[in-house]
Chains A and B, each alone.
Chain A
Amino acid sequence: MGKNPKVVQREEVVVKFAGDSGDGMQLTGSQFSDASAFIGNDLSTFPDYPSEIRAPQGTVAGVSGFQVHIGHKEVTTPGDQADVLVAMNPAALKANMKWVKPGATIIIDIDNFDNKHYKKAGYVEDPLHDDSLDGYNVVKAPITNLTRDTVKPYGFDPKTADKTRNQFVAGMLYWLFNRDIKLGEDFLNDKFKSKPNIVKANTAVLHAGYNYAETIEALSTTFLVDPVKNKKGLFRNMTGNLATAWGLLAAAERAGLELFLGSYPITPATEILQEIAKRKHLGAVAFQAEDEIAGITSAIGASFAGRLAVTSTSGPGLALKGEALGLAVITELPLVVVNVQRGGPSTGLPTKTEQSDLMQALYGRSGESPLIVIAASTPANCFHYAFEAARLSLEHMTPVILLTDSYLANGSELWKIPNTEDLPEIHPPLVKDNDENYQPYRRDPEKMNRYWAIPGQEGLRHRIGGLEKEDVTGNVSHDPMNHQVMVTKRKEKVEKVADDIPELEVIGEQTGDLLVIGWGGTYGGLVSAVTDLQKEGVSISLAQFNYIHPLPRNTEKVLAGFKKRIVCEINMGQFVSHLRSLYQHLGFRQYNKVQGLPFFISELKAKFMSVIEEQQPGETKNS
């Protein structure tokens, strides 16, 4: 005790927690995030876990991780590489060495670094005795043994005792980041409210970790990250899935409707269903359907009956919903489909991120079936775009697909809490009872939406369905010209939504050498890379699309302002294909990655510089 550590002030720090799926790394990560938010750091988090619930212990396949990026400066991504890595076993070390910065602090549980664990992790050489850790500050902490000693008085079996090891780690980090350990105690008190013995044991371990870190020589430098600049107000730490669920609840309230969610559990969208299931006190109903098809069709039924109807899913589920989406298109009922994208095709990489459902969202139905497609771009703005999806759906009487992805859904960031009274009111085109002018396919002359007459209303009985309907009257019609008219009207209705969405914003100058184009969840990486290069004097700007169909009115103008354009996506080039088909006179480069991982800022910057520097004949004008 009583050493005087050197305190280093840092603009930002990235911490990665890694261990077995059952080691509680997600909890320790959230605890560290909450403590960071409490003292006013900006933050962005990303959990990284296998699709198996408890893969074989000690294997690389079973490693679960949680990365936190905290900052005095604003942070927009969970960070490329970690300044501090916590590795609870050799597998966690092996899986994460490539995500660690040179010179980083690596805290390992030395009690798990033995031959048995090396073998499981697939190490041939002992990593502590070859040169693979040279240049890192390796802290060999006997976490398991010290934890077991600490909880001895509580009479836990070894398995239960080991579950508290994550608090030893938490304690070490409180010391390493110069934080008040009381925050950690409060977290535990709140988390295990009803289990006083568990609170006591965990608190003891938390202190043991803190005291250990304070004592050992290996931790001679501590970090201090001051509260974030330029962010003031009341915040909360939000994941994308939670923000999506709350955005839908807010939209229901602002529309004066009750929320109905028809959904089937699917990774990584399930938390939306779980969250809505908890919100009966706000009048919301979560209907856990027997399959993806019943998820969407029950929602269509609820929409017909006058609810704000939503279904949530991921890629394979969206494929199953395709037929029903066509029904929602032709019946022109409001419906929000949330698709939390994951690696595909098929079961693919269920817990990893990808943006490969864009084409499916735009075109994955039979017939001419246009609908609105929008995408959220940060964990917290899932709230805004879920609200927008509901607003556009209700006011324009059309299904809307909201695209998020695993990275946004599970990642978190600080979100400035809005006042719901500042959100726009939503006005669905409802009809008064006994309205003599009501006909199922009479339309609003401006927006071209049909009107919403709801079963139970007097004097508005009508029939809708999947068969083509006669314009205005809604009678079944197989007339050739009528079909042409109806197909055209459904298309125009969706295209007119462009009048009701904001223009595309450009981050940086409106003209220049290179326009970086992204959509949805790549925003954090792209904006960091672009603003870094802007600071270095590079002529580069970013256009991040949230409205995919229809596109903002000024899209072409923005795109045309640059000598070169590069479309960056976590897929093989779906948005770039879409843009090429719409703007055939403009040239587009593309940058694609499909590794189940987000873009890293370093790789983006390198790519952008190489594009700017490349000289090809004829590239002086718009390429």
Chain B
Amino acid sequence: MAEVIKDIGTLTKKDFKLDTSVKWCAGCGAHSVLSSIQSTLPETGIKKEDVVTVSGIGCSSRFPYYIDTYGFHSLHGRASAIASGIKVANPNLSVWVMTGDGDSMAIGGNHFIHIIRRNINVNIILFNNKIYGLTKGQYSPTTPKGSITKTSPEGTIENPFQPGELTMGAQGTFFARVVDSDPKMMKDVFLQAAEHKGTSVVEVLLNCVIFANEVHKDITGKDVREDHQILLKHGEPMIFGKERNKGIRYSCNRLEVVTIGENGITEEDLMVHDATNPDDSMHYNLVRMGLPEYPVAMGVIRAAESTVFESMMHEQVNHARAETKIKTVNDLLHSGNTFRIDD
């Protein structure tokens, strides 16, 4: 039976649900990411047919099979490259890359940095559970140093990547961080990612109940989260804590946690978050903040403007088309040096 095509404004979360069974483990953080994406999409103003989800390989990469959009479950690490081809081929599509820390930081690291460098307008949702889940528990490029895993029985001896640092090192224009246990934060940030013109990277701190359970608990735990997270909002002072009395100050060329009301500190002394600053130095500092000295930065850390690859590509195409005398392949074949051979 042909489906009834709904107007964009009337789409709901239900329109993006499939009746296939979702095969992630019970308690996996991916369920809440799926749910948040499904509730975000109706609010983006994008036609349902224009949404494409692309993934690589790994637990998170099963995502396209669970959402009612065009979907492409591709190769390990290659989602960003496939998404680049889709978006350049048809810039009208809204392209979402679903990837994990192994998929995008290890085997797909090259494609990850290059899509960001080009600033192709796709949204990359990076499910960071700091472990290889689908292959059952080996360390990943984001696993904290010293962690015991199946391939590091004495503890890892590698320095982990910070996805945010890598994004900015690749001249990223949008980086945000969310936690899987906060659907409101996810939806709010996913919407901003969708609106951003350029590559949006959203790192989801995600729990793997089987192989890295509670890996983020120092950040996400109910009892600590208010003191251990700071939700950054563009144009607002950097305040956090259960009592809303802690803040971030920039002093002597470094960030510093201060308490309002102590040592004469007032709200005026705190930094105001500027996500749009083209200079990413401060965004670097914010991305690197970590426990125990600092709270971990959440929300949209960077959202700067820059040129968008596929827009410029199609501008060049349109310009070339308007300027040329060679309108068809036949014109091309007969252009330049040709030789007539007669009797």
A residues apposed to B, CB below 8 Å: 34, 37-38, 40, 227-228, 231-237, 246, 249-250, 253, 260, 262, 279-283, 285, 287, 289-291, 293-294, 297-307, 309, 323-324, 327, 331, 414, 417-421, 434, 436, 455-467, 475-476
Contact = CB atoms under 8 A, between A and B. Distances in A.
A37 B20 CA distance: 65
B81 A464 contact: no
A262 B87 CA distance: 13
Contacts of B1: 436
Given A301-B72, A456-B90, A232 B343 contact: yes
Contacts of A458: 5, 49
**Which interface residue of B2, B313, B333 has the most chain A CB atoms within 10 A?**
B333
A37 B342 CA distance: 12
A301 B86 contact: yes
Interface in B56-75: 57, 64-65, 68-75
Given A462-B70, A466-B74, 18 more contacts: A40-B339, A246-B329, A281-B320, A281-B321, A285-B317, A294-B111, A299-B85, A301-B85, A302-B85, A302-B88, A303-B85, A305-B86, A306-B89, A456-B93, A461-B49, A463-B70, A465-B64, A465-B72
A246 B330 CA distance: 10
A204 B321 CA distance: 39
Contacts of B75: 297, 323-324, 327, 466
Given A260-B85, A456-B50, A281 B324 contact: yes
Contact of A285 (B65, B93, B114, B313): B313
Contact of B339 (A235, A290, A299, A301): A235
| Best-surrounded residue of A246, A301, A436 (most CB of chain B within 10 A) | A301
A331 B70 CA distance: 14
Contacts of A304: 72, 82, 85-86
Query: Interface of chain A, helix or strand or loop or mixed?
Result: mixed
Contacts of B72: 301, 304, 331, 463-465
Nearest to B323: A281
B110 A305 contact: no
24 contacts: A236-B336, A281-B321, A282-B328, A282-B332, A289-B81, A290-B110, A290-B111, A294-B111, A297-B74, A298-B84, A298-B88, A302-B86, A303-B85, A304-B72, A304-B86, A417-B333, A419-B330, A434-B2, A434-B3, A455-B50, A455-B52, A455-B86, A459-B49, A461-B49
B252 interface: no
Contact of B328 (A253, A262, A298, A323): A253
Nearest to B1: A436
A232 B329 contact: no
A227 B69 CA distance: 62
B81 to A, nearest CB: 4
Nearest to A231: B341
A58 to B, nearest CB: 33
Interface string B87-101: 111101100000000
The 9 closest A-B pairs by CB, nearest first: A301-B85, A465-B73, A298-B85, A463-B71, A281-B324, A305-B89, A302-B89, A301-B82, A294-B81
A287 B313 CA distance: 9
Contact of B341 (A233, A246, A420, A456): A233
B152 interface: no
B37 to A, nearest CB: 15
A417 B338 contact: yes
B83 interface: yes
A234 B340 contact: yes
B334 interface: yes
Contacts of A455: 49-50, 52, 70, 86, 90, 93
B131 interface: no
B22 interface: no
Nearest to A286: B313
B110 to A, nearest CB: 6
Contact of B74 (A249, A285, A465): A465
Nearest to B334: A417
A417 B71 CA distance: 43
A431 to B, nearest CB: 13
Contacts of B81: 289-290, 293-294, 297-298, 301
A309 B85 contact: yes
Interface in B193-252: none
A434 B329 CA distance: 33
Interface residues of B, number: 62
B2 A461 contact: no
B82 A420 contact: no
B90 A461 contact: no
B333 A246 contact: yes
Contact of A301 (B2, B49, B64, B84): B84
Contact of B69 (A260, A287, A298, A461): A461
A291 B90 contact: no
A459 B68 contact: no
Interface in B290-328: 313, 316-317, 319-321, 323-324, 326-328
Given A282-B332, A414-B339, A417-B333, A306 B49 contact: no
B337 interface: yes
Interface of B: 1-3, 5, 20, 48-50, 52, 54-55, 57, 64-65, 68-75, 78, 81-90, 92-93, 110-111, 114, 313, 316-317, 319-321, 323-324, 326-330, 332-334, 336-343
Given A287-B88, A455-B70, A282 B337 contact: no
Given A298-B81, A302-B88, A455-B52, A421 B336 contact: no
A527 to B, nearest CB: 21
Nearest to A278: B320
Contacts of B328: 253, 282, 420
Nearest to B93: A455
B55 to A, nearest CB: 8
A389 to B, nearest CB: 16
B79 to A, nearest CB: 9
Contact of A280 (B82, B316, B329, B334): B316
A434 to B, nearest CB: 5
B318 to A, nearest CB: 9
A298 B84 CA distance: 6
Contacts of A236: 333, 336-339
Nearest to B16: A461
A448 to B, nearest CB: 22
Contacts of B88: 260, 285, 287, 298, 302
Pick from A298, A299, A464 the residue with the most CB of B within 10 Å: A298
Contacts of B82: 297-298, 300-301, 304
Nearest to B113: A290
A54 B212 CA distance: 55
A249 B329 contact: yes
Contacts of A465: 55, 64-65, 71-74
Nearest to B111: A294
B151 to A, nearest CB: 22
Contact of A476 (B65, B68, B90): B65
B49 A246 contact: no
A464 B343 CA distance: 58
Contact of A456 (B54, B92, B327): B92
A273 to B, nearest CB: 15
A418 B333 CA distance: 8
Contact of B78 (A293, A417, A436): A293
Contacts of A293: 78, 81, 111
Give the interface centre of A285, A417, A467 by most chain B CB atoms within 10 Å. A285
Contacts of A301: 54, 72, 81-87, 89
